[in-house]
């Protein structure tokens, strides 16, 4: 299997080496292809990513990605959007569950849900029109796009608690009615129990009653926002992994960005990136994937934690500790 490795910018360059150290303990036959993409590359060459890069990525089976700093150029088009579209990674899967000994803002540890975010359309369609006094971004909802994300969410719900919450804003945004209707129909076809929530009410409810939810399916922007917010439920943005899944490819990335405020200090939490490795292993069908959870629990219980969780360990210390546990188990 061929894995494209894109560290990107900022803390991406710190958390991905830690994640790779963890991946290497599994001794799998993985050929890694490193690519430099992002802001630093743009500064150096004037292009954050080229068509050739995308072709190289397409020759791989999966991608492990850190984060990139958005390029401050009005003509810049998001690399992430280009890759998600180019590889048709339509499902962004973000598991949200508490980790041992880590309290989030609500102090609760009784929740376990997954946000399944539509990843190729919605307000991130990239169809934009910019004028001096007005700017337009087209929000795209299609039956096909809604059907396949709903089907993905239902398949997942079947493996879990068989419950789906459809998050939308169809009372105001008419396009959301199509999304809602298609998700409802799909849930019925799959025999999955479904309910729906308006996105604003959902934001409130996730903070008040996160235990109520199992699989949450939503459109692109809402999923983006609700998942960062859920980072506060878990305790840190540095703890949330995500997978972008398509028919052919998979792309694993932490939910967080390049965090310029802490970049270069060696204190970024690598656990989101390390949990991405777990998701990659699961995608590969590796039976020992759950050992990563065990190793992460072990380091948390031993308080080998970075400052965002109140600790004093560095990024590399946490990576070494997780890898060490895996090497000895």
Chain residues binding ligand NAI by CB under 6 A are: 11, 15, 67-70, 80, 236-238, 253, 256-262, 268-269, 272, 308
169 is catalytic: yes
C-alpha span between 51 and 83 (Å, rounded): 10
Per CB under 5 A, 21 contacts Mg ion: no
C-alpha span between 17 and 25 (Å, rounded): 13
Answer with the entry of Mg ion, ligand NAI, none that 149 interacts with (C-beta below 5 to 8 A by kind).
none
- Fill in the DSSP letter of residue 107: -
Q: Compose the 176-215 pattern: x for residues touching Mg ion by CB under 5 A, - for all others.
A: ----------------------------------------
Candidate list 39, 53, 90, 124, residue with the active-site label: 124
Query: With respect to ligand NAI, which residue has the nearer C-beta, 98 or 257?
Result: 257
Per CB under 5 A, 118 contacts Mg ion: no
- Fill in the DSSP letter of residue 58: H
Residue 96 in contact with residue 113, Cβ under 8 Å? yes
Per CB under 5 A, 224 contacts Mg ion: yes
Task: Show the tokens assigned to 84.
Answer: 């998600």
213 is catalytic: no
55 is catalytic: no
Answer with the entry of ligand NAI, Mg ion, none that 69 interacts with (C-beta below 5 to 8 A by kind).
ligand NAI
Task: Show the tokens assigned to 13.
Answer: 């360059």
Give phi and psi for 6, each to the nearest 5.
-125, 105
**Three-class DSSP category at 266:** coil
Candidate list 53, 152, 169, 176, residue with the active-site label: 169
Answer with the entry of Mg ion, ligand NAI, none that 67 interacts with (C-beta below 5 to 8 A by kind).
ligand NAI
Answer with the entry of Mg ion, ligand NAI, none that 234 interacts with (C-beta below 5 to 8 A by kind).
none
Query: With respect to ligand NAI, which residue has the nearer C-beta, 3 or 15?
Result: 15
Answer with the entry of ligand NAI, Mg ion, none that 80 interacts with (C-beta below 5 to 8 A by kind).
ligand NAI
Q: Compose the 276-295 pattern: x for residues touching Mg ion by CB under 5 A, - for all others.
A: --------------------
Give me the residue whose beta carbon is nearest to ligand NAI. Answer: 257
Sign of the CA dihedral running 289, 209, 306, 240: positive
200 is catalytic: yes
Give which of 113, 164, 140 is closest to 219, Cα–Cα.
140
Give min distance, CB of 96 to ligand NAI, in A: 15
C-alpha span between 2 and 59 (Å, rounded): 8
Q: How many CA atoms lie within 13 A of 32 on its CB side?
A: 16
The answer for residues whose C-beta is within 8 angstroms of residue 319's C-beta and 6 or more apart is 17, 18, 19, 21, 22, 270, 274
Region for residue 27 given its phi and psi (left: phi exceeds 0; alpha: psi -120 to 50; beta: otherwise): left
Active site (catalytic) residues: 124, 169, 200, 224, 228
């Amino acid at each position: 299997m061929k894995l494209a490795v894109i560290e990107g910018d900022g803390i991406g360059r710190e958390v991905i080496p830690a994640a790779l150290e963890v991946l290497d303990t599994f001794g799998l036959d993985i050929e890694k292809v490193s690519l430099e993409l992002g802001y630093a590359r743009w500064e150096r060459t004037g292009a954050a990513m080229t068509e050739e890069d995308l072709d190289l990525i397409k020759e791989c089976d999966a991608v492990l990605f850190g984060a990139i700093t958005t390029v401050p150029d009005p003509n810049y088009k998001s690399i992430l959007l280009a890759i998600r579209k180019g590889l048709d990674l339509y499902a962004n899967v973000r598991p949200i569950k508490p980790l041992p000994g880590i309290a989030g803002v609500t102090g609760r540890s009784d929740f376990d849900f997954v946000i399944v975010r539509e990843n190729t359309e919605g307000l991130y369609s990239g169809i934009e029109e910019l004028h001096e006094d007005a700017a337009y971004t087209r929000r795209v909802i299609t039956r096909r796009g809604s059907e396949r994300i709903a089907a993905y969410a239902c398949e997942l719900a079947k493996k879990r608690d068989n419950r789906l919450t459809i998050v939308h804003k169809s009372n105001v945004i008419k396009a959301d009615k199509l999304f809602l209707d298609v998700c409802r129909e799909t849930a019925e076809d799959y025999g999955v129990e479904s309910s729906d929530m308006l996105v604003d009410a959902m934001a409130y409810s996730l903070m008040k009653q996160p235990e109520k939810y199992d699989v949450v399916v939503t459109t692109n922007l809402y999923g983006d926002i609700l998942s960062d917010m859920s980072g506060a439920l878990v305790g840190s943005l540095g703890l949330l992994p995500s997978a972008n899944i398509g028919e052919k490819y998979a792309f694993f990335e932490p939910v967080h960005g390049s965090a310029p405020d802490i970049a270069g200090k060696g204190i970024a939490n690598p656990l989101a990136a390390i949990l991405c490795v777990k998701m990659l292993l699961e995608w590969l069908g590796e039976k020992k994937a759950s050992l990563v959870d065990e190793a992460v629990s072990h380091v948390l219980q031993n308080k080998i934690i970075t400052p965002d969780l109140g600790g004093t360990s560095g990024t590399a210390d946490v990576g070494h500790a997780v890898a060490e546990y895996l090497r000895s188990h």
